[in-house]
Chains A and B, each alone.
Chain A
Amino acid sequence: MAERLFHAEPAEALRIVPLDDFTLVFHRPSGLTHLVTAPAPEILAILAGGPRTRDALLQRLAEAYDLADPSPEALDARLAELVAAGLVRAA
């Protein structure tokens, strides 16, 4: 399960607009707009650089940010939301 690779949607499929406390993500293929909060934009930004496993993603997040709760379970929950929203694919 930890070996699954998570892919971001291609950059041209997304229009990302950071607002004050939220980030708007327009997904062109579906026409859906997603209002996301941290850590979703940070996860999308890292995955935009290439697919990663959950563990590799967690490691990268921990390098880039001061993680208050470096929990694999919490990251799984956030990834599941992104997959359900259609912004990330798991393979």
Chain B
Amino acid sequence: MSEQDETPPAEGTTRRRALMLGAVGASAIVSIRPALAQTNASVINCEIPVPDAGRAGSYIAADGSVVPAGTPGAFPPATFAFKGEDVKTALGGGQLPGTTYEQSQAYVKYIRRLQSGTSGFTCFASLQMPRG
């Protein structure tokens, strides 16, 4: 009874593929500015809040997941957004500024899990781009 498969059009009908207009909370568009894609300066200046503004105040568990404030063993939110340059260093094995070793590890795991539509994602994505 699958209706969303892309079955060949039956005679006299057009193919009707399933489509969602409103994915909740997710934007359908991520725009990449040339400056962000091509220059180090913009990447260094972009920022990643931990966690993102929509979940401000929540704690970050050791595995990088966002958990309720006060969860035992989890880390409080970062007091300032991290600069792209700091995150790049941390992704390479360094430590985020103003954090303990374990806290930095948890934050980095959070950042690696960032999804499209979450603030900081574009910054994180641009850090992954190879530079010529």
Q: Residues on A close to B: CB < 8 A?
A: 31-40, 42, 61, 63-71, 73-75, 77-78, 81-82, 85, 87
| Contact A66-B18, Cβ < 8 Å, known A35-B29, A78-B28 | yes
Which residues from A are CB-within-8-Å of B27? 81
| Contact A70-B29, Cβ < 8 Å, known A31-B34, A32-B34 | no
Which residues from A are CB-within-8-Å of B3? 66
B131 to chain A, nearest CB (A): 16
A52 to chain B, nearest CB (A): 15
Q: Residues on B close to A: CB < 8 A?
A: 3-4, 14, 16-23, 27-34, 37, 116
Which residues from B are CB-within-8-Å of A71? 21-22
Select which of A40, A61, A66 is within 8 A of B29 by beta carbon.
A40
A89 to chain B, nearest CB (A): 15
Closest to A61 in B: B19
> What are 12 A-B contacts defined by CB distance under 8 Å?
A32-B34, A34-B29, A34-B32, A35-B32, A37-B23, A63-B14, A69-B21, A69-B22, A70-B21, A71-B22, A85-B29, A87-B29
Is A39 within 8 A of B16, CB to CB? no
A35-B31, A36-B28, A66-B17 given; 17 more Cβ-contact pairs under 8 Å: A31-B34, A32-B31, A33-B34, A34-B31, A34-B32, A35-B32, A37-B29, A38-B19, A40-B28, A65-B19, A66-B19, A67-B21, A68-B18, A68-B19, A75-B21, A78-B22, A87-B29
